[in-house]
Amino acid sequence: MELRDEIKQLVEQKKDEFFAVSDKIWGYAETRFEEFQSAACIEAALEKEGFTVKKDLADMKTAFIGEYGQGKPVIGILGEYDALYGLSQQAGVAEPKPVTEGGKGHGCGHNILGASALAAAVAVKDYLKAHGIPGTVRYYGCPGEESGSGKAYMARAGLFRDVDVALTCHPSYENSITGYNFLATLQVCFKFHGKSAHAGACPHLGRSALDAVELMNVGANFLREHVIQEARIHYAITNSGGSSPNVVQSEAAVLYQIRTPQLPQANDIYKRVVKIAQGAALMTETQLEVVFDRGSSNIIPNRHLEKLAHDCMMEYGPEPITEEDLAFAQKIEDSLVGSDRTYSQDILDMIYGPVKGKELGKLIAGKLIMDTVYPYTPTETPIAASTDVGDVSWNVPVVQVLTNCYANNTPNHSWQQVAQGKSPLAHKGLLLAGKTMALAAVRLMQEPELVKGIRDEFKERMQGREYVCPIPPEVKPAPHR
Ligand SMILES: [Zn+2]
């Protein structure tokens, strides 16, 4: 039997097991570093399949590694399983309807991601077992991707050091290989401590922490004109000091996120933002506390590996689309308003510019569900988003496979993604990602020249640079700060 067919068979014979894992994790909907049931679910599946599982890694109870096989090469397959706050939504319902008001939901499809990686790892294990060939497959259970940078802590702990090549995936509304870069990011909380007072009777006795937050934000907004064009500075007031205007707010906090193409650029802007915070504290006579939250690195791309992943995806192509898939996609499309309906084209334009972007967009324009695979289109331009896969990419060559799990134009981090997270289309995307990664992994184990080409490119791109974790050594992973 041809390799592609054997891998397909190995993934599909256990598909119900993988769908069950994905659907259970969808239901658990646990957020950063508290994915206890979700991690346990994948750990149990790996143990049942004969993997040796090491748990509680890099100061994270929900980080784990499942390993099978012996010797080189070591192929890492990265899985995620964390959800998002405030995105509770019923499955299969095309209007906003939370399961729990204000609850959590899988608005980035990491339930599918974790199960796709499981499907790939199990298929590779079954292949190794059937053919008795050398090679090691590792499932990396990576918690807290959303605002947690779990992989950066794992990279800081050296967990990727002996891996030859890593593969991962992400659910999407398209089938493609990410041949573009992601931005480095730093997230830091600025807490101001002041003094409360009756705002009417004795305002002169109060020192307002909320004033400090507001003045800091004014300063940061003026800073925007004097940073590099590609930088992004976001903030959220996480503590406004309460809801009483007649009390001088003694405590307030604002969470900043800085994104740039390269990590040193983010560090430079961060230092300037700290100065602005110090200025705000000086002006308001409040005390400033800077609490570093998380950071992740930009991606070091690897064209040899991206090309291999694309070749593997082309072996399977899009999974068949049914009338049922289209009917639900139509309802989702109807729920999108205005510019949301051009989301997929806007992202293409952002990455590839309007000319190339429009050319690629012809493959998806006017379709409810993408029914093809984008041609492999590498570019050095980053997408204005960040991922902790970046930190892995500084340690080992890694590629991200995107598969079609949602209706066209479904935005990331939306209730529409949660609603589609257990659909037949999502399950098909899960299988396509699993097959693509499993085929790539087995080919890497059987064709040493592929690994060599990928590793040579990695060495060339690193230019002798060493990975420096963006998170200071004293900062440990935490669910909240
Ligand atoms: Zn995601």
**Distance of CA 475 from the midpoint of ligand 1 (Å):** 23
Q: Residue 223 falls within a domain, yes or no? A: yes
Q: Please state the domain count of the chain.
A: 2
Among 272, 295, 318, where does a domain finish?
Answer: 295
Q: Which residue has the tokens 């650029």?
A: 265
Q: Which residue has the tokens 């906090």?
A: 253
The Cα 21–Cα 27 span in angstroms is 10
**Distance of CA 457 from the midpoint of ligand 1 (Å):** 27
**Distance of CA 9 from the midpoint of ligand 1 (Å):** 28
Q: Residue 271 falls within a domain, yes or no? A: yes
The Cα 160–Cα 148 span in angstroms is 18
Query: What was the pLDDT predicted at 341?
Result: 86
CA geometry: angle 376, 382, 385, nearest 5 deg: 110
Q: Residue 479 falls within a domain, yes or no? A: no
* Same domain for 156 and 37: yes
Query: What was the pLDDT predicted at 340?
Result: 81
**Distance of CA 222 from the midpoint of ligand 1 (Å):** 31
* Same domain for 192 and 169: no
Contacts 24+ apart (CB under 8 A), 449-452: 450/304, 450/308, 451/73, 451/164, 451/165
**Distance of CA 386 from the midpoint of ligand 1 (Å):** 10
Query: What was the pLDDT predicted at 384?
Result: 84
Among 251, 272, 295, where does a domain finish?
Answer: 295
**Distance of CA 108 from the midpoint of ligand 1 (Å):** 4
Query: What was the pLDDT predicted at 279?
Result: 98
Edge to edge, the sheet with strand 287-296 lists: 232-239, 251-260, 184-193, 287-296
Which of 188, 170, 374 is closest to 270 using CA atoms? 188
* Same domain for 167 and 229: no
**Distance of CA 148 from the midpoint of ligand 1 (Å):** 12
Buried b (16+ CB within 10 A) or exposed e, 244-278: eeebbbbbbbbbbbbbbbbbebbbbbbebbeebbe
* Same domain for 101 and 23: yes
Cβ pair 452, 444 in contact under 8 A: no
Query: What was the pLDDT predicted at 338?
Result: 79
For residue 450, what are its two tokens? 């592929």
**Distance of CA 289 from the midpoint of ligand 1 (Å):** 30
Longest Cα separation, the chain? 85
**Distance of CA 44 from the midpoint of ligand 1 (Å):** 23
**Residue 134 sits in a domain of what CATH number?**
3.40.630.10
Among 274, 295, 316, where does a domain finish?
Answer: 295
* Same domain for 362 and 394: yes
CA 1 to chain centre: 36
Give 350-403 as a DSSP string. Answer: HHHHHHHHHHHHTTTTT-SS--S-PPP---SPEES---THHHHHTTS-EEEEEE
**Distance of CA 83 from the midpoint of ligand 1 (Å):** 9
The parent domain of residue 332 ranges over: 3-180+298-462
**Distance of CA 146 from the midpoint of ligand 1 (Å):** 7
Q: Residue 61 falls within a domain, yes or no? A: yes
Digit-coded pLDDT (tens) for 310-346: 999 999 989 999 999 999 999 999 999 877 888 999 9
Residues of the chain with pLDDT below 70 are none
* Same domain for 423 and 332: yes
* Same domain for 310 and 287: no
**Residue 247 sits in a domain of what CATH number?**
3.30.70.360
* Same domain for 419 and 388: yes
**Distance of CA 412 from the midpoint of ligand 1 (Å):** 8
Count CB-CB contacts under 10 A for residue 461.
15
**Distance of CA 458 from the midpoint of ligand 1 (Å):** 24
Q: Residue 372 falls within a domain, yes or no? A: yes
* Same domain for 378 and 363: yes
What count of residues does the chain have? 481
Query: What was the pLDDT predicted at 480?
Result: 78
Which of 100, 218, 165 is closest to 399 using CA atoms? 165
Q: Residue 432 falls within a domain, yes or no? A: yes
Q: Which residue has the tokens 């005390």?
A: 287
Count CB-CB contacts under 10 A for residue 379.
14
* Same domain for 198 and 50: no
**Distance of CA 387 from the midpoint of ligand 1 (Å):** 8
* Same domain for 189 and 173: no
* Same domain for 272 and 323: no
Query: What was the pLDDT predicted at 11?
Result: 98
Which distant-in-sequence residues (6+ apart) come within 8 Å of 480 by Cβ? none
Q: Residue 393 falls within a domain, yes or no? A: yes
**Distance of CA 256 from the midpoint of ligand 1 (Å):** 20
Q: Residue 477 falls within a domain, yes or no? A: no
